[in-house]
Amino acid sequence: LAMILLAANLGSRAWYFMKWKPLRTCGGTSRVSFLAPIFSLFVATLTGFIFPYIGFQRIQAGGRAAIQLVTLNTIVVALLFIASDLDVIQQYLLVGSHHCNQDGVNVTLGIWFAMTSITCIFAARNIEHAEVHPEDSDPILVEEQMSPVGYSVPNFPNFPIDPMKFGRRGIGCACTSRMSATWEMVLGVIVSVGMGA
């Protein structure tokens, strides 16, 4: 199940990055529409098994950078595949597995690895450099000298706060400063223990 979900995730992202059109499912008739999610999962899983390296986020760079990323990932997977066949590692992962005949598994995974490497390298050649994301034209932070931190958020309303109003006193409290510091410390300990748990 985990392998199917991982392949479906990589496959759907590869589908998106290669800019393929969405699949149509029989016009939305009630007899077939309940099978659409199952069909989509099957197609995404199949795409994930054929193009596993195209589903990575950095593949959006396109061109030569995409080919280099696929090549680097195939080398890492090949090294892990070779290392997993060592008896020392097999004894550590699963006791007694080094005594089993693993020729069929190794041949099958080797053929799958070679085929996916070739298909992903050729598919990476067709990925174009991503356009500017819409959020890049509307930045989250804008540099502003009047702000105490040096930046402001342009999407939030600008309510000016006079620092002199809250300078030494801070926000009014019904307790003394020593008691306030104690409560702040207790609250800080509770929050840090809560975050650590």
Q: Which tokens belong to 139?
A: 């930045």
Contacts 24+ apart (CB under 8 A), 111-114: 112/49, 113/74, 113/77, 113/78, 113/81
Query: What pLDDT is attached to residue 175?
Result: 53
- Residue 41 predicted with pLDDT over 70: yes
Beta strands in the chain (DSSP E): 142-143, 151-152
Residue 132 structure tokens:
């500017």
Residue 143 backbone dihedrals phi, psi, to 5 degrees: -70, 130
Q: pTM here?
A: 0.55
Condensed to tens digits (0 to 9), the pLDDT of residues 47-61 reads 888 888 888 877 777
DSSP state of 158: -
Neighbours of 43 (CB within 10 A): 15
The predicted pLDDT at position 135 comes to 46
Cα 47 from Cα 9, distance rounded (Å): 10
Composition of the chain by helix, strand, coil, percent to 5? 65, 0, 35
Mean pLDDT of 177-191: 75
Higher pLDDT, 186 or 99: 186
Question: What is the C-alpha separation between 57 and 69, in angstroms, rounded?
Answer: 10
Length of the chain as a residue count = 197
The two tokens of residue 102 are 């693993």
Paired tokens of 156: 């939030």
